[in-house]
Chain A
Amino acid sequence: MSFSFGTKTPSIALSGEVVVSGLGKSYGAARVLSDVNLVMSEGEVVSVIGPSGAGKSTFLRCLNYLETPTEGIIEIGGAKVVAGGKLPDKASLDHLRRVTGMVFQSFNLFPHLTVMENITLPQRKVLGASKEQAQETANRLLKHVGLPDKANAYPARLSGGQQQRIAIARALALSPKVMLFDEPTSALDPEIGLEVLAVMRDLADEGMTMLVVTHEMHFARDVSDRIMVMGNGGVLEIGPSKQVMSDPQNDRTRQFLKAVLDR
């Protein structure tokens, strides 16, 4: 049986879909995240914006349990975890991480491995892919992110933008259903950031489901379907990108957008 309130809270997560309900996290008495709800359909791109300390990164990192939420339910691509302040059982955790791919602000490539090894190691260990299979996938993805000639380079030899594109390829190699981006361009100078944004735009066009914490307002407005504005550990408002940007409903959102757009 299924019941629904409009399109907001379907009771069953479909493939590639994200359903987060009542997600919260506290450290003792300090509440850093409270009652975050989000439903994403397959292929949807949602940008998460808001001031520093709003809980954007914490929210994103709770979704694959890099941070442990203390309450709420996470359903992503068929994986379901009920939060309880500790790591879920191994099977659920593996499943959740299997369906999510994450891209970090600081790239986090493995510095002692070549670009090729960075992309093939997870495929071989997590998917059990053969060396040939893994390399084939890696070469295809390297071409995709515009770096087909960097397979044998070590990360230290690459620019930040190149490292981030490799990191995206590494995550994609495991065929995640949802990609999580945690301020992927914040550590890059604006010009270099563009090459990363271009890759993300392609990915969105290809129908990848994406949740993007970002300060790139153009990307949020032009590429994402919806924008979620966070403040003070909660959701201030969420709506179609153009509407949130041009006609925000919440005072705090208006104040934040004015600050970032007027500079």
Chain B
Amino acid sequence: MIAELLPAIARGVGLTLYVTGASLVIGGIIGLSLVGAARSPFAFVRGIATLYINVVRVIPPITWLFLIYFGLPQFALRLSTIQAAIIGFSVIASAFMAEIYRSGLLSIPDGPREAAHALGLSAATTVRHIITPQAFRVALPAIATYGIGLLKDSALASTIGVREITYYAQQSAKQTHEGLLSFIVAGALYIVISLVVALVSRQVDLGLRKKIGVA
């Protein structure tokens, strides 16, 4: 039975990875500008960014997906299920990633930044070449953890019809009446993907730790 269920459900792996990966990357980039905005010298910009980060994080992911997939068409914005899922998860990821970056920034010492000033590096160069790489290095384990969380959340995309792992598990359960087994297979797939992500991030983290030490 598993021999039939596994390939049927594994068809969803591609979209699970696609939705998770795309959202993490897009959210990660938006999160960068958010954390910049949250540290802006202008109180108005800071306020907007802080409000966004806090509001987005307290709304459940499934609510976001429904808002975007069923709500936006009322404003004549019709999205495919995949687009809606990626937009929804990107919005959520951006707020969480902004918080992760912020903690990374807070944890790096002042010294290298002062040295950059003293050397006459511009503010943009200092942020890009000195601060961000250090903050990223500190934030990496948290980013990996969040990525695994997002991988699990991506199962919610099945509720709006994205054909990822959980979607196919539901299909198989209906067609074969092997409900338990279908979802065990789906669970196993999530475990395998998570393990790979965790393993890779651990290796990268150890490599960096060996090379540049703990920041």
Which A residues form the contact surface with B (CB < 8 A)?
Answer: 64-66, 94, 97-98, 100-102, 104, 106-112, 121-122, 125-126, 154-156, 167, 170-171, 174
Contact = CB atoms under 8 A, between A and B. Distances in A.
Main secondary structure of the interface of B (DSSP, over half): helix
Contacts of B137: 112
B120 A94 contact: yes
Contacts of B129: 121, 125
Contacts of B125: 125
B213 A102 contact: no
Nearest to A126: B120
A64 B118 CA distance: 7
A102 B118 contact: yes
B120 A112 contact: no
- Which 3 A-B residue pairings sit nearest by Cβ, starting from the closest? A156-B213, A108-B111, A108-B115
B119 A109 contact: no
Contacts of A171: 118-119
Contacts of B120: 94, 97-98, 122, 126, 174
6 contacts: A101-B119, A104-B115, A107-B111, A122-B121, A125-B125, A174-B119
Contact of A97 (B119, B133, B212): B119
Contacts of B133: 112
A104 B111 contact: yes
Nearest to A100: B118
B179 interface: no
Contacts of A108: 111-112, 114-115
Among A94, A100, A107, A156, the most chain B Cβ lie within 10 Å of the Cβ of A156
B121 A125 contact: yes
A126 B133 CA distance: 19
Given A104-B111, A104-B114, A125-B129, A112 B119 contact: no
Contacts of B112: 108-111
Contacts of A125: 121-122, 125, 129
A156 B212 contact: yes
Contacts of A102: 115, 118
A34 to B, nearest CB: 24
Contacts of A170: 119
A170 B125 CA distance: 16
Contacts of B212: 111-112, 154-156
